[in-house]
Structure 1
Amino acid sequence: MKENKLVSMSIDFSVDIIRLLDNVKGHSSLCNQLERCATSIGANIHESNYAQSKSDFISKLEIALKESYEADYWLELLSRANLASPEAVRSLKNQCGVIRRLLISSITTTKQNRDS
């Protein structure tokens, strides 16, 4: 159940990032980096649902977690460079934070269940 919620939230996050970046002019490398890591979060969460083992499942979620930290970095850079509205960045950082906390919880629970 939690993974389905994560899939849905990560897709929404990706769409919101894409829409935000449609309004950023220039800075294509920064936009590309943010778009790639933001969409990778959902791709790895989705892929984890088809993992071959618990270790593979954990690995996919850990990759998604790393990508969420990277997305947060690029959002902060957009904000500090005044390339996006503070409200839009704040909302996206909040979405990213919720996804990150759910990923951490899923990873921790799966590791505990695997090791017990």
Structure 2
Amino acid sequence: MSSERWPTELRLAKDRRTLSIAFDDRTAFDLPAEYLRVTSPSAEVQGHSPAERKTVPGKRNVEIIGVEPIGNYAVKLVFDDLHDTGIYGWDYLHQLGVEQQGRWQAYLDELAVKGLSRDR
């Protein structure tokens, strides 16, 4: 799958809690580590079908400890909880930025319905 968007900047904040990404379409996003972790494209989080998707609690203080390029189409993010199996393609990162508010609210709602917390 080829990306129509190309990142022009990718920067991890010094506190390792925000990944900033800018694209050649002039969009730019500051994506919190917690948001990236709970929306990981990995099978561990997404499952192999929508019915298998997991709600990941307890990641409020997660940090990104590594950003590794995957070819010229993606990055692998390594989190301090040692989750490192998600491959974040440029289009997926762009989609996460565009849909951040709605996706984040849906996540918070899922936590509440399931009696889970961002802290544990």
TM-score (norm 1): 0.31
* Structure with greater strand percent: 2
TM-score (norm 2): 0.31
Which of structures 1 and 2 has the bigger CA Rg?
A: 1
* Structure with greater helix percent: 1
Bigger relative contact order, structure 1 or 2, given CA contacts below 8 A and separation 6+? 1
